[in-house]
Amino acid sequence: MSTIGADQRLTKTDQLREHLSTLVGERLRPGDRLPTERELADEFGVSRLTVRRALDRLESERLVYRVQGAGTFASRRPITKTIEFTSFSEDMRSRGLSPGSRLLDAVETPAGARIGYALAISPADPVFRVRRVRTADDAPMCLETSHVPLALAPGLLDLPLEGSLYSLLETRFRIRLVRADQVIRATVLDPEEAELLQAMPLSPALLVERTAYDQRGRAVEVAKSLYRGDRYSYEIAIERTS
Ligand code: 16G
């Protein structure tokens, strides 16, 4: 029997989901059938309900699909381009640059309708809003506004926010962000943004809107990152799927 349960921070469902997601991503080919619910329950010593919940998650993440009466199968690799999930600090280091931040402001504020909806909390619930100019080798690269529910990270504003926000969430609040929905758009800098990024007003920029989720699937951060168009690009590995 395989064991799960060593990591006390995760529920059995979360741990099984993690395990199966690795199985699907690394060992199964698209269209391969997963073991049955009963086999998984026996193998991991968990209830069928736990197995079903873990499979529900994988299905909603579109990593697997179910066929009535036939079982659960590994999905085709997504056609969408995959971009590695990183923090700004990790992103810059991987490009050989030294990351930094200048904190503009950090406040507690009601989530409001749009952010509340994305974070699955009510508009009146408090969030922390952190605005930073992110630098690479001390040169402004990006203007970043992050919203994090107060309930998930109480006391966040008392911590040093010039370093890595994701490291703080991980080390202080045991929240590890693993996945995000992102929209990437072209835009131009307004005068205030241009000044903060030491660029000309109306110069081109890349706006990335992110909702980031932790291992349990909780929405933890809604952020906008506005990159200088002349300093930042996305590298995307794509593969033919048919
Ligand atoms: C990335 C994220 C941003 C997050 C930041 C944390 C994008 C588009 N945005 O810039 O949402 O707040 O990383 O970086 O990737 P940090 O841990 O270095 O503070």
The enclosing domain of 202 has a CATH number of: 3.40.1410.10
How many C-beta neighbours within 10 Å does residue 104 have? 13
Determine whether the shortest distance from the Cβ of 54 to ligand 1 is under 6 A: no
Q: What interhelical angle do 37-44 and 12-22 show, nearest 10?
A: 110
CA 146 to CA 128: how far, in whole Å? 8
Residue 233 lies in a domain: no
Same domain flag for 103 and 20: no
The confidence score (pLDDT) of residue 12 equals 87
Domain boundary among 74, 98, 121: 74
Atom number, ligand 1, closest to the C-alpha of residue 130: 12
Determine whether the shortest distance from the Cβ of 222 to ligand 1 is under 6 A: no
Residue 79 lies in a domain: no
Domain that holds residue 113: 88-228
The confidence score (pLDDT) of residue 125 equals 98
Same domain flag for 113 and 59: no
Question: ipTM of the assembly?
Answer: 0.99
Cα-to-centroid distance, 129 and ligand 1 (Å): 13
Say if CB 141 and CB 102 are below 8 A apart.
Answer: no
The confidence score (pLDDT) of residue 70 equals 92
The confidence score (pLDDT) of residue 242 equals 66
3-state secondary structure of 107: strand
The confidence score (pLDDT) of residue 94 equals 87
What DSSP assignment string belongs to 44-75?
HT--HHHHHHHHHHHHHTTSEEEETTTEEEEP
List, in sequence order, every beta strand (DSSP E) within 70-203. Answer: 71-74, 99-110, 126-136, 139-149, 177-188
DSSP structure class, residue 23: I
Say if CB 119 and CB 226 are below 8 A apart.
Answer: no
DSSP structure class, residue 82: B
Same domain flag for 92 and 70: no
3-state secondary structure of 48: helix
The confidence score (pLDDT) of residue 79 equals 44
Half-sphere exposure of 225 (CA within 13 A, CB side): 21
Residue 1 lies in a domain: no
Q: How many domains does the chain have?
A: 2
Q: Over its length of 242 residues, how does the chain's per-residue pLDDT go in tens digits?
A: 566 655 566 788 888 998 898 888 788 888 899 999 999 999 999 999 999 999 998 888 778 999 988 999 998 665 444 578 999 999 999 888 999 999 999 999 999 999 999 999 999 999 999 999 999 999 999 999 999 999 999 999 999 999 999 999 999 999 999 999 999 999 999 999 999 999 999 999 999 999 999 988 999 999 999 999 999 988 777 777 76
| φ/ψ (deg, to 5) at 89 | -60, -45
Domain boundary among 74, 96, 127: 74
Cα-to-centroid distance, 150 and ligand 1 (Å): 18
The confidence score (pLDDT) of residue 236 equals 78
Cα-to-centroid distance, 139 and ligand 1 (Å): 17
Determine whether the shortest distance from the Cβ of 227 to ligand 1 is under 6 A: no
Cα-to-centroid distance, 191 and ligand 1 (Å): 23
The confidence score (pLDDT) of residue 62 equals 77
The two three-digit tokens of residue 38, written as one number? 């009963």
Same domain flag for 62 and 106: no
Atom number, ligand 1, closest to the C-alpha of residue 132: 19
Best mutation site among 83, 84, 87, 231 for ligand 1, i.e. most ligand atoms within 8 A of its Cβ?
87
Same domain flag for 26 and 122: no
User: What are the C-alpha distances in Å from 65 to residues 16, 75, 157?
Assistant: 17, 6, 42
Same domain flag for 110 and 200: yes
Helix (H) / strand (E) element for 113: namely helix 112-119
The confidence score (pLDDT) of residue 54 equals 94
pTM of the model: 0.70
Determine whether the shortest distance from the Cβ of 147 to ligand 1 is under 6 A: no
Best mutation site among 93, 165, 228 for ligand 1, i.e. most ligand atoms within 8 A of its Cβ?
165
Same domain flag for 152 and 221: yes
Residue 216 lies in a domain: yes
Determine whether the shortest distance from the Cβ of 135 to ligand 1 is under 6 A: no
Same domain flag for 170 and 59: no
Amino acid at 7: D
DSSP structure class, residue 25: I
Determine whether the shortest distance from the Cβ of 87 to ligand 1 is under 6 A: yes
The confidence score (pLDDT) of residue 101 equals 96
Interior angle at CA 222, CA 216 and CA 226, nearest 5: 135
CA 76 to CA 212: how far, in whole Å? 23
The two three-digit tokens of residue 82, written as one number? 């995959």
